[in-house]
Amino acid sequence: MKKLNISLLVAVIALSFGASNLAVSHASTMDTADLSYVSSISNINETKYNNEGNISNGSILRIKDDSPVYALKDGRFVLTNRVTSSGTDWSVGSTVETSAKYQYFQISNNEFVKNGINIDLIQFSTLFQTQS
C-alpha cells in the first residue's frame, strides 16, 4: 500500500511540473506483439508476375512511415528487431488474419507487416495493364 501511495505522489508531482504527456508519448510509440492466434491464411493479395517480370495481378505494400516487422512463432506474431523504411514498396505473399481480427502481410520468409495507417495496400489487376 505504501508503494502505491508513493507512486501516486510521484505522479501528482510530475503532473504539476508539466510532465503529463511524458508517459503517453512513450507508450504511443510502442507497438506490442499480437497475442491472439492465427485464424486464417490466404493468398488473395499475393503479388503475381507475368513472363516479362511485370506485376500482373495482386498487391504491393507501400510503406508510408517506418513500420515494425513481425515474425510468426508458435501461431502468434512477435516483434522482431527489424523495420520497413518509409517510402519503400514490398511484394505481398500471404495475408494472415488473427483471432483478434488483425491483418498481417507477408513481405519475406517469416517476415510480416501489420496492416495499419502506416501502409497502403495497392492492388493491381490485369485490367489496368497497358497493351503493347
pLDDT at residue 71, rounded to an integer: 95
Q: What is the dihedral of CA 109, 48, 121, 41, to 10 degrees?
A: -50
- C-alpha gyration radius of the chain: 21
Residue with cell 510532465: 19
Cβ–Cβ under 8 Å, residues 43 and 94? yes
SS3 34: strand
Closest listed residue to residue 118, CA positions, set 72, 71, 61, 79: 61
pLDDT at residue 58, rounded to an integer: 86
In the chain, which residues have pLDDT < 70? 1-34, 125-132
Q: What's the predicted TM-score (pTM) here? A: 0.68
pLDDT at residue 32, rounded to an integer: 55
Three-class SS of 48-117: EECCCCCEEEEEEEEECCCEEEEEEECCEEEEEEEEECCCCEEECCCEEEECCCCEEEEEECCEEEECCC
